[in-house]
Every structure is written in structure tokens, then in C-alpha cells.
Amino acid sequence: MNWNEDLAGDCPELKQAIGHFKASMDAWSCAATDAALSRPRTVVKTASWPGWRLAAGWALGCVLATGCLAGALHQAIHRQEMARLAAQKAAQKAAGERVAAEQAAALPTGVPAEKKAPAAATVKALSGAQDADASDEALLASVDSDVSRGVPAAMEPLAQLMDDSGTQ
């Protein structure tokens, strides 16, 4: 049983009225749908700034240019620093050679020139060896004092309470 049979029952006039109503509703909905689909529509354009790509391109270009300039500046400063260090090393080497020449000149005059140069190198090597020996001895003394403790570091406060004889 459907709605036609429930409402109309056996009345043919009611069936006909409901049928006409259904047909007019179907026609109206199709006409409304067709009209809605065929009418012209207006599209609202959203406001957008098309220049954001241009601005982003300029910003990235500026970042790239700044990075290149910073890299070039860093490299130039690094080269100047290396040149300064090389000049210092050359000056130190020249000073060392001058001191060696003065020491070689201070040797007795009866010594031939061939023996003066090795003597200057020997004097220079001996003075460097004495400095190295002194620093080595100081290092060994420091290590010896650090290693040879009477008591562990954590026990030192208790060891100070004890007297040298071991009795209190």
C-alpha cells in the first residue's frame, strides 16, 4: 500500500487532484532547476595582491646579494689576517737569524768562517734545548706533586685533623 491508496481510498476525484498536484510540483521543480541553471551568474573576484610574488622575488634577491657580499668580505678579511700572520712569522724568522748571526760574530776571531755558522746553530739549539729542559722539569714536578698525595682529596680535611705522629 502506498500513500495514494491510504489517502484517496476509493475516491477517484481525490486521486486525480493529488496526481495533478504531483505533476505540477514535478514541472515546477524542473522548471525552477532549469531556470536556476540557465540564468547568468556574477562571479565576485576576491581581492588579491598580485605583487606578492614580485615582493618575494626582491626579498630573496636581496638576501642572496647580502650573503654574497658577506662571504666576499669574510674572505678578504681572512686573507688579510693570513698575510699579517705570515709577515709576523717572517719577522720572527729574520730576528732569529739576526740573533744567530750576532752570536756567530761573537765567537773568537781565529775561528774560520766555515766553523762560525755551525757554531751559531749549535748555540741556538743549546739555548732552545735549555728552555725545553726547564719547561719539561717544571711539568714533571707538577705531575709528581699531583700524583703523589698522602691521602685522597676527599680525605684531606680528615687528614688535617690528625697530627703527624698518628695519635691524638
Which residues lie closer than 8 Å to 96 by C-beta, 6 or more apart? Answer: 124
Q: Three-state DSSP class for 125?
A: helix
The reply to whether 79 falls in a domain is yes
Amino acid (1-letter code) at residue 123: V
DSSP state of 46: P
Nearest residue to 128 (alpha-carbon basis) of 161, 99, 166? 99
pTM for this one? 0.34
Q: How many domains would you assign to the chain?
A: 3
Query: Same domain for 67 and 89?
Result: yes
The predicted pLDDT at position 90 comes to 93
Residue located via cell numbers 717572517: 90
The grid coordinates of residue 55 equal 615582493
The reply to whether 38 falls in a domain is no
The reply to whether 137 falls in a domain is yes
The predicted pLDDT at position 123 comes to 47
The reply to whether 165 falls in a domain is no
Contact 144, 153 (CB under 8 A): no
Contact 150, 164 (CB under 8 A): no
Amino acid (1-letter code) at residue 44: V
The predicted pLDDT at position 7 comes to 58
The reply to whether 158 falls in a domain is no
The reply to whether 101 falls in a domain is no
Low-confidence ranges of the chain (pLDDT < 70): 1-9, 32, 35-36, 47-50, 108-131, 149, 163-168
Contact 119, 111 (CB under 8 A): yes
The reply to whether 168 falls in a domain is no
The predicted pLDDT at position 67 comes to 96
| Enclosing domain of residue 80 | 55-93
Cα–Cα distance for residue pair 32/28, rounded to 1 Å: 6
The predicted pLDDT at position 124 comes to 52
Contact 104, 116 (CB under 8 A): yes
Q: Angle at Cα 96 formed by Cα 91 and Cα 101, nearest 5°?
A: 125
The predicted pLDDT at position 151 comes to 74
